[in-house]
Structure 1
Amino acid sequence: MVSPDRQLIAGVDEAGRGPLAGAVVAAAVILPAHYELPGLNDSKKLSEARRERLFELIQAQAVSFAIVAVAATEIDRINILQASLQAMKEAVTALATQPDFVYVDGNRCPRWDYRSEALVQGDSRLDCIAAASILAKVSRDRAMVDMELQYPGYGFARHKGYPTSAHMSALQSLGPCPEHRRSFAPVARSLAAQSQEAQ
């Protein structure tokens, strides 16, 4: 991967589009011209321990960074795509130092006035996006571990809200918790089943 040869370049990425519960989280990062982030890569390609280490290093070395979460209730209101774009837009806007150019992971940019470009698999192509992917992923994973304490029994600390067999089984037996995304089909089916049982 390379860092683009421009001044004040931000990378932005999100984590949590696929889970059935919890927020979608986006992060934006501006890296300095020189940095030491050994093993920096797409967060999905790194071990949890490596992500945790880089999470601290990125925050210590970044020119600026911001992390934003859009809650499950808002995801249900505007849909997951729009919530993801909203989170990315808010993350870039929240940067203490505003960028000259923004690279967005994916195939579209939010509606904004920034000069920007969307890059498919950008988290494997540009360091600034990889750094953003790590901040978003670690922040969301930590929130899901906390959610396990608030809503025990679903296994959020293990599967992070993704539709694993264990999660689907818990959803069937316990029903949705307040952090489940009602607009997602498995959760909607669970709610419908509960409603039928109550009749």
Structure 2
Amino acid sequence: MDLHATRGHCQEILNRIHANGNRRDYPRELVAETRPRIDALNHESDGGEQLSDEEAMKLGIALHVMWLRDYALTTITSGNGRARGVTWTRVATSLHPAFVAPAAFVAAHAFSLSGEVAATGAALEVALSFQPDYKAARLLADLVVAGDRSIPMDDAAEQLDAMQPTADWLRPLTARLQWFRQRGLPAPTQKH
């Protein structure tokens, strides 16, 4: 994990959010930038070229936008779950602890679909240890304890494609960036 690169990327995101105010432009741009990273990561788990550490870091941070996290979930099946779980675990372990929870949750979901109970539990433990209030990980943990294998994602891909980006999509990401900034990231620069 390159702390300097992480801080720089977080600063870039905060600057872009600040520059766009409450408009839809940045959420749309972030989805357009990150969806191909998710697809590239999926290609990696299917035996393709590995994402660079920088690309994995950018992807892991962007997963704080729930649409992107949920898109990643829709690409996982019982057939590819183990491989995707391993790949998402690599992403989670490459991140600063402030940003681990969504990637670890996606890994847990992948492992749960493939029936890897121990790996599911380990990934959930990681997600919740770094972000105890991460609701999606708590939900999956409750489902696993109840004997269900995963969060139902049957129609999610179609629903996600129908959604229009809003500034609200950025709230969890902004909150996590603010949390990170309070621990040493400089304030966004003003551009005039």
Q: Under TM normalisation by the shorter chain, which class is it?
A: under 0.3
Higher strand proportion (structure 1 or 2): 1
Structure showing greater Rg? 1
**With structure 2 as the length reference, what TM-score do the two structures score?**
0.26
Q: Answer 1 or 2: which has greater helix percent.
A: 2
State the structure with bigger RCO (CA 8 A, min sep 6), 1 or 2: 1
